[in-house]
Amino acid sequence: MDILSSLSNNGDTPIFLALIVTILCCFFSLFFRLLKYPQSDKTNPCNCASSDSSMAVTATARLMNGGGGGGGQVPVVERERERERQHVIGASMMEQLVPEITTHALSYLDYPSLCRLSMTNSSMRRAANDDNAWKALYHKDFTMEQDSITPANGWKAYYAATRAIVNINQHFFDIIRERSLPEMGRLWLNADYVKCIHASGEFFTGYSGVLSSWQLALNWEPAVNFQVRDVRSRVLPGVAWVTMKAYVGMEHNTHPMSMTNVFELHNGEWFMVHHHSSVMLADGEVADQPPMLG
């Protein structure tokens, strides 16, 4: 009290109060700092070293794999490798086969199955559109005689064209069996150069003459069911021909005949332009009078 009284009597009271307030502020500041950060003065040198070491190892691994630094992003090479790995894992068995094995496996499919396979997914479309697969299918369904040719538009297009010719050639025999003159008229090209030589040896030329010969044969000859064997076809741009052996009835030794049909492509449709039929004779055999049909 005496000190305060003496100070109050002096002019130094404001200075003393400011000093007391400053000391108290420093004390409370230090006290709250210790309460808030009790571990601040305890350092762990291992944490920094371990963090720096981990970062160094990661950076080294990225550089060794061709990647860049920083950013925490996966390097481009690593992403590509991962994408390829996932592609291999998700790839179908067909994609992982050797091409020769794939072609051999697809050769067991028929024409509709191979077409349906090409519509499943992209990998199957590539396999089903392979030219070697269609070449193998062609030789299985048709003939080995054309092994040396190289179709201009590939074996798939050549197979489709040959299939169309074989089907229309079969339609020719269906018309004879059904004895339908209107269908026969639609099959032949309406041109003056078309020709028809029947098994009887009679020769007809021009659309009207050919149709008249078929009208006579279909009206007067009994219904004939041909068994067709050894069909061979050749397709060129705009023209195709088919050779075959035809037998009347189920027995192959009854009136065997050799036949040739020639077709032309007009406005996307095949028409018959030539038919030639002759009786097959064994050595020394004399032909009986054959039927006109054929």
Is the CA virtual torsion 132, 134, 140, 143 positive or negative? negative
Which candidate, 195, 256, 254, places its Cα nearest to that of 230? 256
**In this structure, are residues 218 and 176 in contact, taking their beta carbons and an 8 Å threshold?**
yes
Predicted local confidence at residue 284, as pLDDT: 47
| The model scores a pTM over 0.75 | no
Task: Say yes or no to pLDDT of 15 above 50.
Answer: yes
* Angstrom distance (rounded) from CA 49 to CA 20: 45
* Angstrom distance (rounded) from CA 86 to CA 257: 62
Segment 132-175, tens digit of pLDDT: 888 888 888 887 777 778 888 888 899 999 999 999 999 999 99
Which candidate, 221, 204, 222, 200, places its Cα nearest to that of 213? 204
Banded model confidence at residue 248, pLDDT cuts 50, 70, 90 = confident
